[in-house]
Amino acid sequence: MRGAVIAFTFLFILSTSNVFSANYKAYRTQTPPTIDGLANEECWQNARWAFINQPFDGKALPDSADFHGRYKVVWDAARVYVLMEITDDKLVDNRVNPKDNYWQDDIAEFFFDEDYIKQGHECGTEAFNAFAYHIAGVPCDKNNYTNGSIVPFDAANAVHHVIDLGADCNTANALNLDDHVKMKISKNGNKYSWELEFKIFDKNYNQNISTNIPVTLTPNKVMGFAIAYCDDDSGVRDNMIGTVANHNDYSGKYPFFQFTNEYETLTLNDSVLSVPTAIHSPSILKGAMFWPNPAGNTISFKINDIDNHFNQIDIYNLAGMTVLSQNWVASQTSIDVSLLRSGNYILGAFYTDGQYLQHFIKE
């Protein structure tokens, strides 16, 4: 019976959690993060990861050693903040001029449609119905825009150029939109942590003036939103992996990312998310806490609910198989997960009235 409940609950979690959904619910942050690539602020501890794992270009996905991506989003009235973690075995940028075939390099594309109205988007008169920010993964010298040399990620003069088409559909005349995005990337082996701050503009944006004012963000606002990562291992784009699967409609007037309502959504929730977050089934527990997530070698689970008696903690993989069991010994229990492989798991704590279930990632 327990296995059937677990299997059903997995389906529930997979269908409702931000971790698996491109229709992302972003929670408000009271304190904006410092954009330094370190991502050590409380708001990032609170937000949930979602995956970049869809075949945006219709091709077979690369294996996890070649590419793995995930992201988090929070917001305040002034900005949208994104934390993106990319594992990429080979970072390539063969073009120094940021407008030279910019879509072929290792870049990330962030799609924002401020009003999420069904409209075309690419260039010309439709250019600013949405924004498709092409952001270089490799930093260049900000003191020389057209011919800046590649510099280290932590260099004081490092900039990751931001490009999008405007009124001119000639890619050689694409716009420099560096001032729309503040960002920093930190590198640890093949893992790159992108921390970004986006100004959000509406369709009235005018590329010919410098006084465009970003919109003020409000609770319950819904925007079109998607992320795609262009993986370049050979000097040209090998894969484009995103948060939404491509419709492969390249012959139509508006191939996927040029049709604004085909993005998924970003909903600005007014709640400030508290640590830790969890999914409860079938009842809500009092004072349940789980940390950290993602997990390293140890996870901790604490419960202050005196009305329920716990007897066991199990950990399952996403196939529903038990990979670790531990007896409940105190109100706070530490669990050694060092022997688990990196991946996604569910913690199940069984108590008098049912079970507490928490998705977590083992790094």
Q: Where are the beta strands (DSSP E) in 270-321?
A: 279-281, 289-291, 298-302, 310-317
**In the CATH scheme, what is the code of domain 21-269?**
2.60.40.1190
Which residue in the block uniquely carries the two structure tokens 């229709």? 23
Instruction: Give the separation between CA 88 and CA 62, rounded to whole angstroms.
Output: 10
What does the pLDDT look like over 65-77, one tens digit per residue?
788 899 999 999 9
Q: Specify the CATH number for 279-362; select among 2.60.120.260, 1.10.8.80, 1.10.3720.10, 2.60.40.730.
A: 2.60.40.730
pTM, rounded to two decimals = 0.71
pLDDT at 327 over 90: no
Higher pLDDT: 307 or 103? It is 103
Which of 248 and 149 is assigned the larger pLDDT? 149
pLDDT at 94: 77
Residue 224: closest CA among 107, 134, 118: 118
Q: Is the pLDDT of residue 273 over 60?
A: no
Look at 93-102, 150-159, 199-208, 354-363 and tell me which has the smallest mean pLDDT.
354-363
CA distance 173 to 191: 32
* pLDDT confidence band for 256 (50 / 70 / 90): low
**pLDDT-derived band of residue 307, with 50, 70 and 90 as boundaries?**
low
Is 279-362 in the same CATH topology as 21-269?
yes
Ranges of each domain in the chain:
21-269, 279-362
Rounded CA gap, 177 and 132, in Å? Answer: 10
